[in-house]
Structure 1
C-alpha cells in the first residue's frame, strides 16, 4: 500500500519524543515510533492483532537534515516489507 498525501501529512507532524503511537487511519490500524525529536520514523500499517502487534506492512523514514540548523531538508518513507505474526 503506497502512503497517500493525507497519511504523509499526518506523519509529518511532531508527537511525543521516543514514543509508540497507536491510531486508526482510513480503516487501517497504525502504529508508529518516534525519534528523540518526536518525528515518526518507523510505521506499521495493517490489522492489529490481539497482542497489539500489527500484521501488514512496515515503513522506515529516511531524514536528511541541514547540518547547521538540524532542519529537515528532505525525508521519504521506504517500504521494508510485510510484517506478520505466526504462532
Structure 2
C-alpha cells in the first residue's frame, strides 16, 4: 500500500513525544510510534487482530535536519515489509 497525500499529512502532525498511538484511517488500523519530538517515525498499517497486533505493513520515517537549527529539511517514509505487530 502506498502512503497517500492525506495520510502523509496526518503523519506529519506532532503527537505526544515518545509514545505509541493506535488510530483508524480510511478503513485501516494504524499504530504510530513517535520520537522525542513527537514526530511519527514508525507506522504499522493494516488490520488489528484480537490480541491488538497489526497484520499488515511497516514503514519507517527518515528525517534529515539542519545541523544548526534542527529544522526538518526533508523526510520520507520507507516501506520495510509485511509484519505482524504484537503489543
Q: Does the TM-score normalized on the shorter chain lie above 0.5?
A: yes
Structure 1 residue 50 displacement after superposition: 1.1
The TM-score, its normalising length taken from structure 2, stands at: 0.95
May I ask how many residue pairs the two structures share in their alignment?
85
Aligned to 1:21: 21
Structure 1 residue 39 displacement after superposition: 0.1
The TM-score, its normalising length taken from structure 1, stands at: 0.95
* Runs (5+) with no aligned partner, structure 1: none
Root mean square deviation of aligned Cα: 0.9
* Runs (5+) with no aligned partner, structure 2: none
TM superposition outliers: structure 1 runs of 4+ over 6 Å = none
**Would you say 1:73 and 2:73 are equivalent positions?**
yes
